[in-house]
Amino acid sequence: MQRSTNGALALVCALALSIAALPARAEMSEIHVAEQYGISYLPLMIMQDRKLIEKHAKAEGIDVKVAWSKFAGGNVMNDALLSGGLQFASGGVGPLITLWAKTHGNLDVKAVAAINSMPLYLVSSDPAVKTVKDFSDKDRIALPAVKVSIQAVTLQMAAEKAFGPGQEHRLDHLTVSLSHPDAMTALLSGKSEINAHFGSPPFQEQELEHPGVHLVLDSYDVLGGAATFNTVWTTAKFRNENPKIYAAFVAALDESMKIINGDKKAAAEAYLRLAKSKLPLESVEKLLNDPKIVFTTTPQGVTKYADFMYKVGSVKVKPESWKDLFFPNAYNLPGS
């Protein structure tokens, strides 16, 4: 019996040593990151241009290739993220909350960080439309993704305020999914069914410079103050299996924020070059110095969106706090 026990113990020890000798599972050698259109994605644009993820990954002792893609809306990114074709998605708070609720308890998609806070403007070329109450069946409102984009959710919040409880979807049938560049082209052409656009900087400011286009709604008025526009998110599975790449992404984003906030003129020049934009430098610099437009990783007002989406049944899970929607690296920030 003693010999048998000793033999079993030796086998267990041998197995333990062999497992310990196995090389640690390697992190991914290539990742895919997605962004959208507009100056709100400047932190990601600079990360791409300066290869900041690769730089910080190298500091973590690994080499990683970073492929970048551009999408028109967060809903398309979410599909790519779930299929494994994308590791980091970016977009408005609406698509983030939608996927967080959908994957709660399984893939556990959460935000890595916010990337900005800025107001979103709903504009119209119809002189009869002064407020959201003036929209009729002849109007068409372009936004990145019907029902789920942050613009769509903000429009629902505005509709509830204007028409009363239970009326949040009253304007949904007027919305059309279009990227911001396409929406601006359609609105300003005067030859499209699109006569309103719930956009983002710098498109909304460009539209307001055209005669006949006017402001209908400011998202900050709907929210009652400043709020996060965009965030970056990924799955808990990716984060757990690739801790060094994840840490490199966080460090790269922090560095990008310092670059933007440290020299607004240089940041404006970078945007014009990277976006291949023909906007005047003064216009972009003015945007970056607008006190309402802040590039920050601190989330603001995300629980207002989450609470509303839960209340109206858009999602089935309600976060207890903003921290439920983010990974722990953001917990030391004064979020809301």
Q: Which domains does the chain have, with CATH numbers?
A: 30-118+227-330 (3.40.190.10), 121-223 (3.40.190.10)
Report the run of H or E that residue 218 belongs to, with start and end.
strand 214-218
Report the run of H or E that residue 70 belongs to, with start and end.
strand 65-70
As a 3-state breakdown, the chain gives helix, strand, coil percent values, each rounded to 5, of: 50, 15, 35
Confidence (pTM): 0.88
* Strand bridging mode 196-198 / 121-124: antiparallel
| Distance from C-alpha of 245 to C-alpha of 58, rounded to nearest angstrom | 9
pLDDT 10s per residue in the chain (336 long)? 444 444 444 444 444 444 444 445 689 999 999 999 999 999 999 999 999 999 999 999 999 999 999 987 667 788 899 999 999 999 999 999 999 999 999 999 999 999 999 999 999 999 999 999 999 999 999 999 999 999 999 999 999 999 999 999 999 999 999 999 999 999 999 899 999 999 999 999 999 999 999 999 999 999 999 999 999 999 999 999 999 999 999 999 999 999 999 999 999 999 999 999 999 999 999 999 999 999 999 999 999 999 999 999 999 999 999 999 999 999 999 999
Dig out the tokens for 199 from the structure: 């956009």
Q: Compute how many other C-beta atoms are within 10 angstroms of the C-beta atom of residue 123.
A: 24
| Distance from C-alpha of 84 to C-alpha of 326, rounded to nearest angstrom | 20
- Secondary structure (DSSP) of 269-326: HHHHHHTT--S-HHHHHHHHT-TT-B--SS--SHHHHHHHHHHTTS-S---SSGGGGB
C-alpha atoms less than 13 angstroms from C-alpha of 126 in its C-beta half-sphere: 21
Gyration radius of the chain over CA positions: 23
Dig out the tokens for 171 from the structure: 């304007």
- Cβ proximity of 69 and 272 under 8 Å: no
